[in-house]
Amino acid sequence: MKGKTIGLVLGAAVAFGLPAGAAQAEALKIGIIESLSGPQTSTGRLFAAAAKFVVDEINKNGGFNGAPIEVIEYDNAGGTTGAADKFKQAVADGVHIVLQGASSAIAGQITEDVRKHNIRNPGKEVMFINLGAEALELTGDKCHFYHFRFTTTAPMRVNALVNAMKKAGELGTRVYSINQNYSWGRDMEEATKAAAKVGGYEVVATVLHEVNKIQDFSPYVAKIKEANPDTVVTGNWSNDLLLLMKAAGDAGLKVRFATTFLDQVGNIANAGNTALGHYVAHPYNIEADNSDFPEAYKAATGHYPVYIEPQTVNAVRTLGQALKTVDFGGGDIKVSEIAKALEKASLDTPMGKITVRAEDHQAVIPVVVSKVIENPKYPVDGTKYGFGVVEIIPGPDAIYPVQDACKMERPA
């Protein structure tokens, strides 16, 4: 009996010991360098939560390369300096893939850092998956092989809005453009002007204002009133959008707002019924999702997927699809292979199919145009309002042309 036990124990030791010694499987390390403190915290944390949701999913199905995927969170404190510091820390920690989305400025910093790191450390490349930074230059003159953008851009959103609203007869012929004075806002202004011919409207005025500094939008509303537009197109977010709409509501301004970030958490709660009837173009609308994703997400995180979470989930799921096609046999991970695989990856989602464009690594994703309605299936922010689907535009129809400025160098 005793001998048998010893034999069993020895056998078990051998059985566990041998494989453990043989296969030190290299775990894939994902670094989320996000704004986890500072003014963009709420958005940053959503990106992190959504990314982790999918990584948990992948790990439940066996992980990658024989080990669970490790996720390390870094707080860039909402600034580019913090992002630069944390990127260096991430490299020190052996991170293979960096995720970020809450700011185009920070994304610009990270993508440049990644590019320089890859030049200096051939064979030890790092990849950057951009979950939410929409400035065109990231797939323009700042494009490089190891950056992938899985969100929309200004032309995608504006074209979607213009087409859907025109079809619904709610666009009108006079459009007013008001945006924040930085890369994103300027992209939006350009896109609005560029779509004028197709949309059959005249851009009556364009305004660029300071980012997140204006407390009082009533002078801007007065200007809008003066120009007498049918629709106001704006890429504003956070306070800039909220205050603009509040001021418009207070002044009794009868105009349609076509926005890109109306679905940001807290906007509908703050705007109330002044938001009714306004439009938003975004990558996902839960009202059109009949899969089990909303409930699964709610079970894991406590709330239905909102704002930028669905696009993040899709991005990381697409990465998961790419990972399925690469096999390192438990050995060293080569990020260049993952990047090549991601170029060819695709994902079927309830909104449509997602693919990746090899020329500039922009994901071709569907764009949903929605309108704020009362008593939807999924009310938002604890109010009785939500987003009703107006139109879902498939990826290939929504995508913008490759920019001339992108000269991507491909690895051998």
Partner 1 sequence: MLARIALIAGLLIVLIVVPPFLGIGWQNALTNMLIASLFAMAFNLLVGQAGLLSFGHAAFFGVGAFATLHLMGAIEDRIIAFPTPLLPLAGAVAGILVGAFAGYFATMRSGVYFALVTLAIAELFHSLAPHWDGLFGGEAGLSSMRMPWAGLTFGSPLQVYYLALGWTVVSIFLLWAYTRTAFGRLTLALRDNEQRVRFMGYNAHTTKVIIFSISAMFSGIAGALLAVSNETANYSLFSTHVSAQVVLHTFVGGSTVFFGPAIGASIFTLFAFYISEVTRTWLLYQGLIFVLVMLYAPQGIGGLVQTHIQHWSKISWPELGRAYAVAAAVAVCLTSALVFVVESFAIIFSPEYAAVRGRLDGAWPPFKLFGLEWEVFSPFTWIIPLGLLAVGLLLLPTARRMLRETWNHILERAEAARIAKSEIQLAGAVES
Partner 2 sequence: MEFLIISTLNGVTYGLLLFMVSAGLTLIFGMMGVLNFAHASFYMLGAYIAYTVATTINFWLGLLVAPILVGLLGIFVERNLLRRVHAYGHAHELLLTFGLAFIFEELIKLFYGDFPVNYSMPDYLRFPAFTIFGTDYPFYRVFIGLVAVGMFVFLYLLLSHTRAGLVVRAAERLPVMAESLGHNVPLVFMGVFGTGAAFAGLAGAVAGAFFPTNPNMAIELGVIVFVVVVVGGLGSLEGSLAASLLIGLFSSFAVGLDWSLAGLLSWVGLGDWARSVGGLFTLTLSSISGTVPFLLMLIVLLVRPAGLMGERN
- Residue 178, beta-bridge partner list: 207
Closest CA to 75 of 36, 125, 127, 25: 36
Q: Is 380 in the site for partner 1 (CB under 8 A)?
A: no
Closer residue to partner 2 (CB): 42 or 346: 42
Q: Is 379 in the site for partner 1 (CB under 8 A)?
A: no
Token pair 């994901």 in the structure block, residue: 363
Q: CA–CA separation, 163 vs 213, rounded Å?
A: 32
Closer residue to partner 1 (CB): 83 or 365: 83
Q: Is 377 in the site for partner 2 (CB under 8 A)?
A: no
Virtual torsion, Cα 108, 262, 237, 184, nearest 10 deg = 40
**Which tokens hold the place of 333?**
């991970």
Q: Is 135 in the site for partner 1 (CB under 8 A)?
A: yes
Closer residue to partner 2 (CB): 35 or 349: 35
Q: Are 95 and 72 in contact (CB under 8 A)?
A: yes
Closest CA to 130 of 117, 141, 143: 143
Contacts for 188-195 with beta carbons within 8 Å, 24 or more apart?
188/154, 188/157, 188/158, 188/233, 188/234, 188/235, 188/260, 190/154, 191/154, 191/155, 191/157, 191/158, 191/159, 192/158, 192/233, 194/155, 194/158, 195/155, 195/158, 195/159, 195/162
Q: Is 122 in the site for partner 1 (CB under 8 A)?
A: no
Q: CA–CA separation, 391 vs 401, rounded Å?
A: 22
Q: Which of residues 313-342 bind partner 1 (CB under 8 A)?
A: none
Q: Is 276 in the site for partner 2 (CB under 8 A)?
A: no
At 218, which helix (H) or strand (E)? helix 218-227
Q: Is 301 in the site for partner 2 (CB under 8 A)?
A: no
Total of chain residues touching partner 1, rule CB under 8 A: 38
Q: Is 238 in the site for partner 1 (CB under 8 A)?
A: no
- Which of partner 1, partner 2, none sits in contact with 222, Cβ below 5 to 8 A by type? partner 2
Chain-centroid distance, C-alpha 56? 19
Q: CA–CA separation, 290 vs 220, rounded Å?
A: 41
Q: Is 116 in the site for partner 1 (CB under 8 A)?
A: yes
Closer residue to partner 2 (CB): 91 or 214: 214
Q: CA–CA separation, 320 vs 365, rounded Å?
A: 17
Q: Is 257 in the site for partner 2 (CB under 8 A)?
A: no
Q: Which of 67, 91, 196, 207 binds partner 2 (CB under 8 A)?
A: 207
Q: Which of 26, 27, 42, 112 binds partner 2 (CB under 8 A)?
A: 42
Q: Is 187 in the site for partner 1 (CB under 8 A)?
A: no
- Which of partner 2, partner 1, none sits in contact with 92, Cβ below 5 to 8 A by type? partner 1
- Which of partner 1, partner 2, none sits in contact with 223, Cβ below 5 to 8 A by type? partner 2
Rounded to a whole number, what is the distance in angstroms from the first to the last CA of the chain?
A: 62
Q: How far is the CB of 84 from partner 1 (least distance, A)?
A: 4
Q: Is 303 in the site for partner 2 (CB under 8 A)?
A: no
Q: How far is the CB of 186 from partner 2 (least distance, A)?
A: 11
- Which of partner 2, partner 1, none sits in contact with 24, Cβ below 5 to 8 A by type? none
Q: Which residues contribute to the site for partner 1 (CB under 8 A)?
A: 36-37, 42, 45, 75, 77, 79-81, 84-85, 88-89, 91-93, 104-105, 108-109, 112-113, 116, 119-121, 135, 137, 181-183, 210-211, 213, 299, 301-303
Applying CB under 8 A, the residues found at the interface with partner 2 are: 37-39, 41-42, 181, 207-210, 213-216, 218-220, 222-223, 225-226, 238-239, 242-243, 250-253, 266, 269-270, 272
